[in-house]
Chains A and B, each alone.
Chain A
Amino acid sequence: MNILVFNCGSSSLKYKMISMPEGKELFGGEVQRIASKTAKPSEIIHEAEGTKEIFVEDIKSHLEAFSEVMNIIEKKGYNKPDIFAHRLVKGSNQIGKDALLDEASFSFLEDLKELAPIHNPPIIEVIKACKENYPEVPQAVVLDTSFHLTIPDYAYMYALPQNLCKELGIRKFGFHGISHQYVSEEASKYLNIPLEKFNAISCHLGSGGASLCAIKGGKSIDNTMGFSPLQGLVMSTRCGNLDPSVLLKMLAYEEGDFSKVNKILNKKSGVLGLSGISSDIRDIIKAKEKDKKSAATLEIYLWRIKKYLGSYLTVLGKVDAIIFTDTIGETVPLIRELVCRNMDFFGIEIDEMKNRNVEKYPSEISSIESKIKIVVVKTNEELSIAKRACTLLENESVLVETN
């Protein structure tokens, strides 16, 4: 069975055709920098049988990216998939866990957009496009929030009036769960520590979103993202943590226009808002020597990661590993080096040579003296999604209301 997995990031669309149950990747790729203000234009990096092709295109939306990907697939003569599987960033009461989509569930999709306003809308557009163009192919959604269902109440509750929380479903959900789960399992295997005894902090540093996850005994116990993917770290265009009173002040400034405030916080803040030149931290690193704003942006980006790292190290007490993953976590050694610098109190020490020369994944980059292993693990959310979609098909699960 061939599963075509779509994984929408805030500014990217990853895709992979995976043959299951063996988990063999037939082809795959990523549309990068969709409609984002970066130094480089959008491009599609397509990979099959070890060969990489790059198509530079001006891609303005995820829907356009989907069409381009399907064009490539058709032109190259690949077979149609047996099922489409999608990463869904956040579910609802109606779609609260991994599910195969049926007619009834399509009617709930629109409601999901507001729950994760950056991610869910493009995912839903892609799901609808799949249905319209390939109505005979079944579709599955795999939720990013499932891994975080183990976060204890004292970490997921907000100190707001509880009747309001109950009525509006306000709690910490956590995000990037598919990735945090995948890389923590891979790291535990790599370090030969049984998963049920494995404590780690997973740093998912993407080119768009980013989050840290505290993992105890293989289970998520906290995540820097919260009710929405807006909370936590400084991201490409998202502000991360913000004083709630500031939001109200912004509201007054924008004369009560909440949608405008929402747009500012989600799409015009973060690395882009601070630097004013790019939403991609890699551009900022290149510019930092000559541009003071870029140097300051990098400092703020790193500082927020360090503070959360300290929080989670403290909460966990005993930590086996710090895991770096996703585009920035895997490919930017300077970020890893600076995050781990001056963490002697915790016994964290990076080997700078190993860090700069990561050639395979997973790789350990900590020094021999480091009390905590530092590893770089290539995330493979698509494989994880394919496995979970396969399980759904096997169980012939149908959409269930989880109320």
Chain B
Amino acid sequence: MENLIVFIPESFFIKYFVYEIGWNNLTSEKELSEKSGPEHKLLISGKVKFRSPGSKKDNIISLVKNYNPKFAAIRVLYGGKKFNKEVVCDNLTIEKLEKLVAQSPLDIPAVIRLIKLIKEISPNIEIKLFFETAFFASLPDYEQVYALDKSLLKMDIRRYGYHGLIHKAVYDKIKNENPEVRKIISICLDPVPEIAAVIDGKPIMTSSGATPVEGIPGDTTCGELDPGILILIEEKKKYGAETLNEIITRQSGLSAIAGKQITISDVFKDEKDNKKAAKIFKYKILLQCGSAIAAMDGFDALAFSGRYVDAAHYFADWLIPELKRIAVKEFFPKIFYFNDSVEKVIANEYLN
């Protein structure tokens, strides 16, 4: 049997998933509301500290040696303009990645170190990179451009989406089983959540911005913020950019509203105890759905996905009628719950 190893670099760790490849089941079809995708057998998963240059390599070395994978896949958060689809990694790829460090200073260096280490351990492994932003490369200019001076926009300040792999998998799955569906509101409920409006497979609107921080508040990310607020905080507190970044990415979001460390899933499991956080989250979702509907002039389907897709079951009953009531004609949108995790999506994509 052959193995595939999927790496998902996150804030402090790199998660890994080793699959035994189930070649024969690649075309298996199940209901979207159930676990779906090819039946690769997950042999082992875990996480290792590998974000900083000084991190120990032992865990990854022993992992690669023990499971001897034929393929490796790495999820890359940001690919900028250089990567608008997945790529098999070669020396040129690394050169291109190095040019993106300024845009994604935490993620890209860790990815480069990981690639180099894998090649060092086992030069014959085929490494493929999957970029979350690639799906959003075709976002129309009027959606991606901020109203800033053109000289600033040259710094590749533009709007992307950061759950492109999931949104694309959601679209592919729906389209495969419901070819009549054209307009999808895709709601990815992850720690940093995101909504995308997708017409015929192309994104036309996203709630995220130049980074995943903009848009809907997440577990600890602030979401939409008046730019004047950071200016005020800096004027009054003189925190500096690093602390401000820490505040908006790790000390904000639903946790800040609830006054305790909390996830989106927690909020809806215990909505009574987290009323304010739930109300704010639902309101922001509704606003973004409204934008998505205006962007597409309607919608045929609503799809929930992401790590906290379970939370959707708690508020979908509220959201769907809210969205249906604005339609001038009665209509019946299709509702989907997509349970696949991003590592599974990557595994499927790699081997398809």
A-to-B contact residues, CB < 8 Å: 114, 117, 153-155, 157-162, 164, 168, 170, 172, 225-228, 230-231, 234-235, 238-253, 256, 258, 261-262, 264-265, 268-271, 273-274, 276, 293, 296, 299-304, 306-315, 317-318, 342-347, 371
Contact = CB atoms under 8 A, between A and B. Distances in A.
Contact of B225 (A114, A158, A342): A158
Given A154-B280, A248-B241, A159 B256 contact: yes
A245 B298 CA distance: 31
Interface string B322-338: 11011110000000000
B155 to A, nearest CB: 7
Interface in B278-300: 279-280, 282-283, 286-295, 297-298
A265 B234 CA distance: 15
B256 A306 contact: no
Given A311-B286, A313-B294, A314-B286, 20 more contacts: A114-B232, A154-B280, A159-B223, A159-B254, A168-B233, A168-B236, A231-B224, A239-B148, A242-B227, A243-B214, A247-B227, A248-B245, A250-B152, A252-B241, A317-B325, A342-B297, A345-B298, A345-B326, A345-B327, A347-B328
B245 A155 contact: no
A272 to B, nearest CB: 8
A315 B235 contact: no
A340 to B, nearest CB: 11
24 contacts: A153-B276, A154-B282, A170-B233, A226-B226, A228-B226, A228-B228, A235-B147, A242-B209, A243-B214, A244-B213, A244-B225, A245-B245, A248-B244, A250-B152, A253-B152, A274-B145, A293-B150, A311-B287, A312-B290, A313-B294, A314-B289, A315-B286, A345-B326, A346-B294
Pick the most buried of B228, B229, B232, B252: most chain A CB atoms within 10 A of its CB: B228
A251 B231 CA distance: 10
Pick the most buried of B227, B290, B297: most chain A CB atoms within 10 A of its CB: B227
Contacts of A276: 149-150
Interface size bracket, B side = 35 or more
Interface of B: 141-143, 145-150, 152, 155, 157, 159, 205, 209-211, 213-214, 217, 221-236, 240-241, 244-245, 247-248, 251-254, 256-257, 259, 276, 279-280, 282-283, 286-295, 297-298, 322-323, 325-328
Contacts of B327: 345-346
Contacts of A315: 283, 286-287, 290
Pick the most buried of A154, A251, A253: most chain B CB atoms within 10 A of its CB: A154
CB-CB nearest 8 A-B residue pairs: A310-B294, A314-B290, A228-B228, A347-B328, A243-B209, A226-B226, A159-B217, A345-B298
